[in-house]
Chains A and B, each alone.
Chain A
Amino acid sequence: MAQTAYEPKILGFLCNWCCYTAADSAGVARYQYPPNIRVIRVMCTGRIDPVFLIDGFLNGADGVFVGGCHLGECHYISGNYEAQFVVAFAHEILKELGINPERLRLEWASAAEGAYFVKVITEFTQWLKDVGRLGTSEKIAPEELKLKLKAAVMALEGSKLRMNFAKEAVKLKEKRERGEALEVAVSEGLKNTIKKEIAFYLSSLYLKQGPHSVSDLAQKLNFPEAEVEKFISALSKKGLITLQQQEPVPIYVAKS
């Protein structure tokens, strides 16, 4: 099927002191760039909660852009190092959802680098045009995509995933302060938590859509039945689901 020409929607999070200022100075210099980005100003990229990024996609962004100060130049000492990990973490979530992680882009631009900001946004916009609407290049149906993103947002609002993620951010910071060589990467353990948490919330969403058996869910989620059993018991304990029928296999559904 031929790609219909579309205008990508980009949500930007820019820090007040560097990248937002760079964007302003691009204006002062009258540099031109495609009108696809809508910017949310934050004081520091360190403010950016991972849930904001995924929520951006859930709300229709084809690309999300994070712009901060160059490393070492953060107005708040080290907020951009934190942002670097937040973005790495969000990248893992996108991968887990089957979304091209490059749709979330992190760049540094100092207040003086208006021209660089323009270059980056122009390239990103063009890249998003080439790759197509969110979901098309990933070959995920819009409804499915929405459900998955919703599950990810729920996971990111839950304290379990947040705690694991935050602990890892702390570890990374301590490493950095000891001057150890730094690789901003998400650990296997955290990746597992991401997988599990998303699957958990996704199963709750599937159950909202209709009755499922454990093996139905396991198949949809592409997840071991034993794990799904655990989700089911957790959801039951919370009183969120109910057993619709016991035989021949137990079928569950969300409580209305």
Chain B
Amino acid sequence: MLSENKENIIGAVMVVGGGVAGVQASLDLAEMGYYVYLLEEKSSIGGVMAELDKTFPTNDCSLCILSPKLVEAGRHPNIKIITQAKIKHIEGEAGNYKVTVLKRPRYVDETKCTACGICSSYCPTQIWDTYNAKLCTTKAIHIDYPQAVPTSYVIDPDACLYLNKQECQICVPTCKAGAIDFSQQPEEKQLEVGAIILTPGFSPVDVYKRNDYGYADFPNVITSVEFERIMCASGPFKGEILRPSDYTHPHRIAFIQCIGSRERQHPYCSAVCCMYAIKEATVALEHSSDLDITIFYMDMRTQGKGFDEFFERAKNEYKIRFVRSRIGKIRETENHNLIVTYALEDGRRLEEEFDMVVLSVGMEPPKSAGELTRALQIGQNKYGFCLTHEFSPVHTTKKGIFVAGAFQGPKDIPESVTQASGAAACASSLLFPARNTLIAHKEYPPEKEIGDEPRIGVFVCHCGINIGGVVNVPEVRKYAAKLKNVVFADENFYSCSQDTQERIKEMIEKYDLNRIVVAACTPRTHEPLFQETIREAGLNRCLFEFANIRDQCSWVHMHEKEAATQKAKDLVRMAVAKARKLQPLKEETVKVIPKALIIGGGVAGMTAALELAKQGFKCYLVEKEAELGGNLRHVYYTLEGNDPQAFLKDLITRVQEHPLIDVFVNAEIEEINGYVGNFKTKVVSKKGGPQEFDHGVIIVATGGHQYRPDEYLYGKDERVLTQMELEEKIATGKIDKDTLKNVVMIQCVGSREGERPYCSKICCSHALKNALKIKEINPQANVYILCREVRAYGFKEEFYSQARDKGIIFVRYSKENKPKVEKDNGKLRVSVFDPILQKGLVIEPSLVALSVAIVPNDVRELAKQLKTPLTKEGFFLEAHVKLRPVEAAVDGIFYAGIAHFPKPVDETISQALAAAAKATVVMAKGEVKVEPIVSSVDEQRCIGCGICEKLCPYKAIRIVKMGKKRKAETISASCKGCGVCSAHCPQQAIIMGRFTNEQIRAQIEAFGKEE
């Protein structure tokens, strides 16, 4: 029961688990106005994603996209990261929990450690490096990985000589920062929070204990986790693919799928292994194209957005061999090669030799699951994951405690990130009366007046040996010191360390510096850090310029030290030339109208609207049909056995009765104008006529519909139905037992081919659901499911097993050899080739059900209005596949449900909640900061020609009347700073913040001229 007294509600949330889900939830909550305690068992946050080399399906570098989020969480004033900690006990109720937390000692003071690493080089005790899957060693005092947050070393108490034998302590005098502290003791703290979000992630199945396929005995049988580290540039072999037995390059590599998944001990599917195996295989081939890779699998479950295309490319472009088979056993040859015995579908048994075997290990509940659920008194499902309900996927069994990520069930990064935001939304709607009560706002000194004369400070970074080992840093510093307007030049061991930040501030003060150049790694990751530092010293953030002398210099010219030093000098000279022209820019903010437009009144739209309305935000919900409910109106039962109609009825009632939600049915969007915070939309409905309203955000939940097939006699014979039609007939009793005696279901109708190369994700479950229902009604019925693959991912695998147990027959067909449906003398006849029996099957069914593709509703016009891109299949394209799965590239617009990609109802609800969370962030803040990289117009030069207005991709510049003349005007809040307008302005009248013509021309000139 939520505290009645609103004053008792605590505006803080505890997030348990610092993987990508936990970090996302923390950032969302902190941005919404709650204080966050982020608890992590290990010594740094980042979780499994930090251990990955690449992420599918884009093969993006995992750490590169994660690291900025970790840094952001690390320096957020309203996120307190508590590492090496776990929950011991809780008391209280939703809205007001008292949590007892136990923190293990780190023996290193996080606030003092500069992560210089000298302690580690002296430490005599080697331990297995768990970050590198124990493929190499590290020291008892170590840091998990170089980019770890908090950026602090830690002592392993099990290995440290001093802690075990009271000897050594050599690290203490080596630490110049005095950070090592052996007096630390375990600490117990009591923290008060209103809600808890659980994101402890998962554990990979322990194949060592089980000795799967000789893993424990054969050195060249490794896990996918180990292979991930092996391929990583920062891994044990520096990114070279070597096999552990003899450190030679393997040539033939086999992946074996479903290790610890879809088996007795783990009867569920881990949902991500097919994709990561394909990813690892393709990345390996990018390392060395002469690899010969085979993936042994049961079903390729590549059901997500862009996943099937990835699979097809792996087959066709990368020439990875996919073998549907069952693995018998593996034995080792004398030279540690591996002989894999496997059985094909047709029963043939084969043997093949490989140099290395990778086991695609599945996901288990995290090791801490038992302890955590006991401490919180929440339920676990039968597999040990957190118990949730299909229609409330982020709620645990206890009010005020939410869950996200793999602990809720096996899932990939985008789904984890989505759920994390969803859980944050739910916590927020519980605690909103206490929003902004516990947060701190960072205070900055006023900005200094800067004189006309540039006084530039240059800080050249050694980056340990990363730069200093190649580039002659002292020489670069000396060179910089001689450049015009440079008053101070410095070199630092690590420019990003906390002590250098202090030094930069001091030097700004001492030398009255008014522009700062840092020559170090890359602005993409570290510019915000230095900008923050100079701002703290009273300089405007825009008085900063970066010279990239690591990622684009020392790292890529490692063997050409002189040339690299020359290049570093040139880059510094160019940066200084630009710095001379830098001007302070005002950070503008625009007010946000705290109202939301939600397009689409299906489950996604209604869920999002309700979640926002609960927090006091006005919502306009626009539905094109006559009633709310969308596709779920035609769903009568779910695979999991729940009643969607009851759920839907309740949801519709709550939406309709909510005073803050205005519902428009039979309504269409006619026009949308404006930008984040300030949209204006015109809606036309059949009844009410046109209406116009202002709002600050948009949630797009436009949904999709069934593909209408023209194959398999659909529309020509009434016994051929879609699954949805069949379901409706069954549920409404319009079909009798006899008609269901002989049913053939055909999968992938209109999916995974031609115009729709994607997997529609929900059809396998739909077929299983209807097949099981038929068996329930008529246990004697023959049900055949003709499929290309059974994609019963996650916990749905259980129903696939059930279906087989009940005698439902699965026959695989290939894209090239599809089943045929014919009519002969009034009888339906289905023929298909059975690869197990190796012969054609002919069935005379009483009914044929087609699992048809899901296609997006036609939103091309809407997308144009919103300025948001669509995929070639017509789904909305998210801002970032992995980390921004519900956000549009255009600020203030979010996606949920099938508009983004086909998905089942639980995933739709998670996504709708996530969209609500993102919308909440914008509205709760009440204003949006505009990056000062936007354009502005020099009115004197502008002739009002309107070229800029026509070319702007964001409608962010427009022609207005100023007196008698027409002039261009930037809408700062919409402008993203691309600069297309400026590059094309006939008058060169458009100024791009931080990228002015003058600045770039100065860089070009400095490129050509030594000073």
**Are both chains from one complex?**
yes
Give the interface of A toward B (CB within 8 A).
9, 11, 16, 20-21, 23-35, 38-44, 46-50, 52, 55-56, 58-61, 72, 75-79, 82, 86, 110-112, 115, 118, 157, 159, 162-163, 165-167, 169-170, 173-174
**Residue interface bits B970-992, CB-to-A below 8 A is 1, else 0:** 00000011111011111110001
Contact indicator B60/A38 (Cβ below 8 Å):
no
**A112 in contact with B60 given A30-B558, A40-B574 (CB within 8 Å):** yes
Nearest-neighbor residue (CB-CB) of B977 within chain A = A43
Choose from B233, B557, B869 the contact partner of A35 (Cβ within 8 Å). B557
Question: 12 A–B contact pairs at CB < 8 A?
Answer: A11-B1004, A24-B522, A25-B64, A26-B555, A26-B556, A28-B64, A28-B555, A35-B556, A39-B548, A42-B995, A79-B980, A169-B951
Chain A residues with CB under 8 Å of B997's CB are 49
The complex places the Cα of A112 from the Cα of B563 at a distance, in Å, of 26
Partner of A28, one of B58, B61, B523: B61
Contact A35 B1004 (CB under 8 A): no
* Residues in B whose Cβ lies below 8 Å from that of A174: 950
A49 with B982: in contact, given A11-B1007, A24-B552, A32-B556 (CB under 8 Å)? yes
Which B residues are CB-close (under 8 A) to A39?
Answer: 548, 552, 571
In the complex, which of the residues A16, A24, A29, A33 has the most CB atoms of chain B within 10 Å of its own CB atom?
Answer: A24
A23 to B555, CA, bound (A): 11
Task: Please report B residues at the A interface, Cβ cutoff 8 Å.
Answer: 54, 58-61, 64, 233, 238-239, 286, 522-524, 548, 550-553, 555-560, 563-564, 566-567, 570-571, 574, 867, 869, 889, 933, 945, 947, 950-951, 953-954, 976-980, 982-988, 992, 995, 997, 1000-1001, 1003-1005, 1007-1009
In whole angstroms, how far apart are the Cα atoms of A75 and B64 in the complex? Answer: 17
Pair A59/B1004 contact, Cβ less than 8 Å: yes
Residues of the B chain whose Cβ atoms lie less than 8 Å from the Cβ of A56: 1004, 1007
Q: Which residues of A contact B987 (CB under 8 A)?
A: 159, 162
Q: Enumerate chain A residues within 8 angstroms of B571, measured Cβ to Cβ.
A: 38-39
In angstroms, Cα B480 to Cα A172, docked, is 45
Select from chain A the residue with minimum beta-carbon distance to B568: A35
Contact of B61 with A61 in the complex, beta carbons under 8 Å: no
Q: Is the CB of B951 within 8 A of A61?
A: no
Query: Closest residue to B234 on the A side, CB-wise?
Result: A28
Chain B minimum-CB-distance residue to A54: B1004
User: When chains A and B are docked, how far (Å) is the Cα of A78 from the Cα of B6?
Assistant: 49
B19 to chain A, nearest CB (A): 22
Taking a contact as CB atoms under 8 Å apart, the answer to whether B1007 and A49 are in contact is no
Q: Name B239's contact: one of A25, A26, A29, A43 (CB within 8 Å).
A: A29
Q: Which residues of B contact A173 (CB under 8 A)?
A: 950-951
Query: Residue A76 contacts which of B550, B953, B995, B1003 (CB distance < 8 angstroms)?
Result: B953
A52 to B61 CA separation, bound complex (whole angstroms) = 32
In the complex where A27-B551, A59-B1005, A159-B987 touch, is A82 in contact with B951 (Cβ < 8 A)?
Answer: yes
CA distance A150 to B1000 in the complex (A): 17
Assembly CA distance A42 to B933 (angstroms) = 11
Expressed in whole angstroms, the minimum distance between the Cβ of B305 and any Cβ of chain A is: 15
Residues of A within 8 A of B950 (CB): 170, 173-174
| A24 to B552 alpha-carbon distance, docked (Å) | 6
On whether A52 and B985 interact (CB within 8 A), knowing A24-B552, A43-B979, A79-B978, the answer reads no
Q: How far is the CB of A209 from chain B (nearest CB, A)?
A: 22
A132 and B522 CA atoms in complex are apart in Å by 32
For A79, what are the chain B residues with a Cβ–Cβ distance below 8 Å? 953, 978-980
Point out the residues of chain A lying under 8 angstroms from B979, CB to CB.
42-44, 46-48, 79
CA distance A47 to B948 in the complex (A): 12
Q: Which of A16, A52, A58, A76 contacts B1000 (CB 8 A)?
A: A52
Q: Chain B residues near A115 (CB, 8 Å)? A: 286
Measured between alpha carbons, how far is A111 from B997 in the docked complex, in Å?
A: 26
How far apart are the CA atoms of A159 and B984 in the complex, in Å?
10
Q: Find out whether the CB atom of A82 lies under 8 angstroms from the CB atom of B947.
A: no
In the complex, the answer to whether A35 meets B551 with C-beta atoms within 8 Å is no
- Are the CB atoms of B1001 and A52 closer together than 8 Å? yes
Among A21, A25, A28, A112, chain B packs the most CB atoms within 10 A around the CB of A28
Q: A27-B556, A28-B233, A170-B947 are in contact. Are A42 and B1000 (CB under 8 A)?
A: yes
B954-A112 in contact (CB<8A): no
Nearest CB on A from B995, distance (A): 6
**Is the CB–CB distance between B58 and A77 below 8 Å?**
no
Q: Beyond the given A42-B979, A166-B951, could you list 12 further A-B residue pairs with CB under 8 A, ordered by the A residue number?
A: A23-B552, A34-B557, A43-B995, A46-B980, A47-B992, A58-B1008, A78-B953, A79-B980, A82-B951, A112-B54, A115-B286, A159-B986
A30 to B58, CA, bound (A): 20
Complex CA gap A76/B976 in Å reads 7
- Of chain A, the residue at the smallest CB distance from B566 is A35
B888 to chain A, nearest CB (A): 11
Min Cβ gap B169→A in Å is: 36
- How long is the Cα–Cα vector from A31 to B557 in the complex, in angstroms? 8
State the CA gap A173–B981 with chains docked (Å).
Answer: 13
Residues of A within 8 A of B558 (CB): 30, 32
Q: Which residues of A contact B560 (CB under 8 A)?
A: 35
* Residues of chain A lying within 8 A (CB to CB) of residue B1007: 9, 11, 38, 40, 56, 59-61
| B58 closest partner in A (C-beta) | A112
- Chain B hits for A42, CB < 8 A: 979, 995, 1000
C-alpha spacing A166/B953, complex, angstroms: 15
Shortest distance from the beta carbon of B408 to any chain A beta carbon, whole Å:
29
Which residues of chain B are near A72, meaning CB under 8 Å?
A: 869
A165–B286 CA distance with the chains assembled, in angstroms = 41
Complex Cα distance, B1006 from A61, in Å, reads 12
Residue from A60, A75, A166, A169 having most chain B Cβ neighbours under 10 A: A166
Partner of A38 from the list B64, B523, B574 (CB cut-off 8 Å) is B574
| Docked complex Cα distance between A115 and B984 (Å) | 32
How far is A167 from B948 in the complex, measured between Cα atoms in Å?
10
A26: chain B residues at CB < 8 Å are: 551-552, 555-556
Given the known A-B contacts A35-B560, A42-B995, are A30 and B552 also in contact in the complex, defined by CB atoms under 8 Å?
A: no
Neighbouring A residues of B550 by C-beta, 8 Å: 27
Measured between beta carbons, the chain B residues less than 8 angstroms from A77 are: 867, 869, 889, 953-954
Complex CA distance for A46 and B1009, rounded to whole angstroms? 26
Q: How far is the CA of A28 from the CA of B235 in the complex (A)?
A: 12
Please name all residues of chain B whose beta carbon is closer than 8 Å to the beta carbon of A9 when the two chains form the complex.
1007-1008
State A60–B1006 Cα separation when bound (angstroms): 10
Contacts of A28 in B (CB 8 A): 61, 64, 233, 551, 555
Determine how close the nearest CB of chain A comes to the CB of B552; give it in whole angstroms. Answer: 5
Partner of A59, one of B54, B233, B1008: B1008
Contacts of A75 in B (CB 8 A): 889, 978
Contacting residues, chain A, for B976 (C-beta < 8 A): 43, 76
Complexed CA–CA distance, A157 and B988 (Å): 8
Cβ-closest 6 pairs across A and B = A47-B979, A59-B1008, A27-B551, A76-B978, A27-B555, A46-B980
Which residue of the partner chain A has the closest CB to B554? A27
Which of chain B's residues have a CB closer than 8 A to the CB of A49?
982-983, 988, 997, 1000
Q: How far is the CB of B968 from chain A (nearest CB, A)?
A: 13
Does B986 lie within 8 Å of A162, measured CB to CB?
yes
Q: Which residue of B lies closest to A164 (CB)?
A: B986
Closest to B933 in A: A43
Residue of A nearest to B555 (CB): A27
| Complex CA distance for A118 and B995, rounded to whole angstroms | 26
A30 neighbours in B (Cβ, 8 Å): 233, 238-239, 555-556, 558
Nearest chain A CB to B412's CB is how many angstroms away?
17
CB closest chain-A residue, reference B61 = A25
- C-alpha spacing A24/B556, complex, angstroms: 9
Q: CA separation between A169 and B953, bound complex, in Å?
A: 13
Whether A162 pairs with B988 at a CB distance below 8 angstroms is yes
Distance, CA A112 to CA B62, complexed state (A): 10
Cα distance, A212 to B12, chains bound together (Å): 81
Give every chain B residue within 8 A of A43 (Cβ-Cβ): 933, 976-979, 995
Shortest Cβ distance from residue A192 to the other chain B in the assembled complex, whole angstroms:
17
B134 to chain A, nearest CB (A): 23
A32 B557 Cβ-Cβ under 8 A? yes
A61 cross-chain contacts in B, Cβ below 8 A = 1007-1008
